[in-house]
Structure 1
Amino acid sequence: MKNKCVFLDRDGVINVDNVNYTYKVEEFKIIDGVIPALKMLKEAGYLLIIITNQSGIAKGIYQHEDVYKCHDYFDRESGNLIDEYFYSPYHQSTSESLSRKPGSLMFEKAIAKYDIDIAQSWMVGDRERDILPANKLNIPTILIEEFPNTETSAKYKVDSLYEAAELILKKV
């Protein structure tokens, strides 16, 4: 039997987004309601996989180790709710990569590795670049809307990951 999964963007969905990048543990602020939302999804049998661009690496702002430290911190705080983190260290100003969203390679790797049924899965993001690769792969999408009336190709719009989790569990 295939697995169901909720794919999640990181910055703006899990932690407060910072225009100057979130790469220091002391600046990694978990958004209210995130951990309870992840627990609800995990209890409902979903794999939880982060799919995130980390272009600050390509730009020389921070290192892979900084990303690992932030993910380790989140794992400790959440009780290891995330099954895996996929991240792209690239940026189009320094190198092209199919793994970088809106490319779909990180999703495709996760789908293959975890034998994921995309029809039972979801993508939750806060930017259109999170939504586009999921739409390409026919994964249902939810946009966490930072600004009212955001133009999006997402199937649903909500205000928080907690609302997204409630929506996902109602649609099952």
Structure 2
Amino acid sequence: MTKQKCVFLDRDGVLNVERGDYTYLPEDFILEEKVPEALALLKQRDFLLIVVTNQGGLAKGLFTRAQMEACHQKLLQNGNYLIDAIYYAPSHPAISASLSRKPDSLMLEKAIAKFNISPTESWLVGDQLRDMQAAGKVGVKGILVGPHAPETYVRQQQNLWEAARFIIAQA
């Protein structure tokens, strides 16, 4: 079976606007600019699209799985149902340890195994260095997005749209 290529996507700060606080109410869940277009562009080039997100507010009891899933439903709907899967790590280091939570890579490892993904042909777009660390642990190339100092990371783009265009240019 042919291995698939994938773009792993962090959620807060990549797909939706980073509020600086936990986003768990659908009315607060606002997509970043040009996210549907970026997802469509990547899909046209046969990339799987898999969300990998830390959701430590669950462990802290700040919101419920139902509230988080309502945000994910809004994400799927507003992203024209192009996202293939959503993995989330419900733990938080203040409460419980977990290998799923980025910078660890268990969410990525599970997706790679389940979807027969080729790490060397795949990317992770994230807004934190911990996202880049998780990508590196499984041999996936990372792209850091958002308002970071120049040269914070080897590959940086303004947002998911610019990252998608960069990925397509490399393929």
* Interval containing the TM-score (normalised by the shorter chain): over 0.9
Task: Provide the identity percentage.
Answer: 44
Structure 1 partner of 2:106 = 105
Which whole-Å deviations, capped at 9, do the CAs of 1:47-101 have from their partners, x for residues lacking one?
0000000000111100111111001111111210110000001000000000000
Aligned to 2:144, the other structure's residue is in SS state: strand
Aligned to 2:39, the other structure's residue is in SS state: helix
Which whole-Å deviations, capped at 9, do the CAs of 1:93-149 have from their partners, x for residues lacking one?
000000000010000000000000011110100000111011111111100032332
The 2-side partners of 1:51 and 1:125 are apart by 9
Aligned to 2:112, the other structure's residue is in SS state: helix
Q: Is the counterpart of residue 38 in structure 1 residue 22 in structure 2?
A: no
Give the TM-score taking structure 2 as reference length. Answer: 0.96
Structure 2 partner of 1:23 = 24
- RMSD, aligned α-carbons: 1.0
The 2-side partners of 1:150 and 1:58 are apart by 34
8 Å contact 2:39–2:82 — kept in the other structure? Answer: yes
Aligned to 2:50, the other structure's residue is in SS state: strand
- Number of corresponding residues: 170
Aligned to 2:107, the other structure's residue is in SS state: helix
Letter in structure 2 aligned against 1:32: E
Q: Is the counterpart of residue 168 in structure 1 residue 167 in structure 2?
A: yes
Structure 2 partner of 1:2 = 3
Alignment of 1:16-95 (within 5 A): 16-95=17-96
The 2-side partners of 1:45 and 1:96 are apart by 35
Which residues of structure 1 form unaligned runs of 5+? none
Q: Which runs of 4+ in 1 moved over 3 A?
A: none
Letter in structure 2 aligned against 1:45: D
The 2-side partners of 1:66 and 1:146 are apart by 28
Deviation at 1:150, TM superposition (A): 5.8
- More divergent stretch after superposition (74-83 vs 94-103): 74-83
The 2-side partners of 1:160 and 1:100 are apart by 22
Structure 2 partner of 1:144 = 145
Q: 1:93 to 1:150 in 2, by over 3 A?
A: farther
The 2-side partners of 1:138 and 1:118 are apart by 6
Give the TM-score taking structure 1 as reference length. Answer: 0.96
The 1-side partners of 2:147 and 2:95 are apart by 28
The 1-side partners of 2:79 and 2:136 are apart by 28
Which residues of structure 2 form unaligned runs of 5+? none
